[in-house]
């Protein structure tokens, strides 16, 4: 399927979830209401990455909603879960939007991206007022500098979980990204930058996690940042050789 006009939905929203029993009900409802209020023909794809709390039980309430697909999968990480969602979404919608389930960036900012979609190929939130530990800030700055050096600066927040991308373009990009990639959003941002496509960056407040806590502690963050960097370098080399 190559024509956007043949796709059944205007928008498919991809939301990876892991251990968010305290907030996932309100997050799903708030996004559902936001998309409904914007008069969008949409499908929400909520992927439970093998949560070990009561997230799966909470999500049961949405299974009867035809606009919401709840997918329960074996735990294999945030990146592979996003890729699985992107593959579903890009096959059914003209536009693909990804957001996380931790409620850090509110749905109310989405309409600003949606209203401008006609002039762009990809639209990104840029996190402002983000609360981070010193180690998180240091790793973020180093990682951002290295990614910019490799892939360019067109996307200001390369790993932001608040991104709207044309469905056919997403399908083209993710086709060559390995399923076990730790941070596919970074690679996708880099590919978009390298293609010199029309990219829009819009500042969005990042309110910080209000329930639960991040599953990645400081010592793991260094390991994962290195893994993400190495995978990005490898992907870049492979794609360059194909040209």
Across 17-31, 117-131, 224-238, the highest mean pLDDT is recorded for 17-31
Q: Which ranges constitute the DSSP H helices of 45-128?
A: 55-59, 78-92, 110-114
Q: What is the pLDDT of residues 219-229, one digit of tens each?
A: 555 566 666 66
More confident residue, 188 or 163: 163
Nearest to 82 by CA among 227, 194, 182: 182
Percent above pLDDT 90 for the chain = 59
The domain ranges of the chain are 4-242
- Asked if residue 151 lies in contact with residue 236, where contact means CB atoms within 8 angstroms, the answer is yes
Read off the pLDDT of each residue in 1-20 and give the average, rounded to a whole number. 84
Measure the CA–CA gap between 212 and 224, rounded to whole angstroms: 20
Burial class (CB in 10 A: 0-12, 13-18, 19+), 111: middle
The pLDDT assigned to 224 comes to 62
- Asked if residue 176 lies in contact with residue 87, where contact means CB atoms within 8 angstroms, the answer is no
Fold exhibited by the domain 4-242:
Spore Coat Polysaccharide Biosynthesis Protein SpsA; Chain A (3.90.550)
Q: What is the pLDDT of residues 152-177, one digit of tens each?
A: 678 888 889 999 999 999 999 998 89
Measure the CA–CA gap between 155 and 39, rounded to whole angstroms: 28
Q: What is the mean pLDDT of the chain?
A: 85
The pLDDT assigned to 94 comes to 98
DSSP state of 7: S
């Amino acid at each position: 399927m190559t024509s956007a006009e043949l796709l059944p939905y205007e928008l498919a929203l991809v939301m990876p979830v892991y251990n968010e029993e305290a907030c996932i009900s309100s997050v799903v409802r708030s996004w559902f209401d936001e998309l409904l209020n914007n008069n969008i023909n949409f499908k929400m794809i909520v992927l439970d990455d093998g949560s070990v709390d009561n997230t799966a039980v909470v999500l049961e309430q949405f299974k009867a909603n035809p606009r919401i697909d709840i997918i329960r999968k074996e735990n294999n990480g945030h990146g592979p879960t996003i890729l699985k969602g992107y593959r579903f979404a890009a096959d059914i919608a003209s536009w693909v939007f990804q957001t996380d389930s931790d409620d850090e960036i509110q749905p109310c900012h989405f309409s600003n991206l949606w209203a401008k979609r006609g002039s762009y190929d990809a639209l990104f939130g840029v996190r402002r007022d983000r609360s981070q530990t010193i180690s998180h800030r240091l790793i973020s700055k180093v990682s951002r500098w290295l990614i910019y050096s490799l892939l360019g600066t067109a996307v200001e927040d390369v790993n932001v979980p608040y991104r709207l991308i044309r469905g056919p373009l997403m399908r083209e990009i993710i086709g060559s990204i390995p399923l076990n990639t730790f941070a596919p959003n970074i690679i996708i941002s880099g590919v978009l930058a390298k293609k010199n496509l029309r990219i829009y960056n819009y500042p969005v407040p990042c309110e910080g996690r209000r329930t639960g806590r991040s599953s990645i502690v400081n010592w793991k963050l260094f390991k994962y940042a290195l893994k993400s960097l190495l995978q990005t370098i490898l992907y870049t080399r492979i794609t360059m050789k194909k040209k």
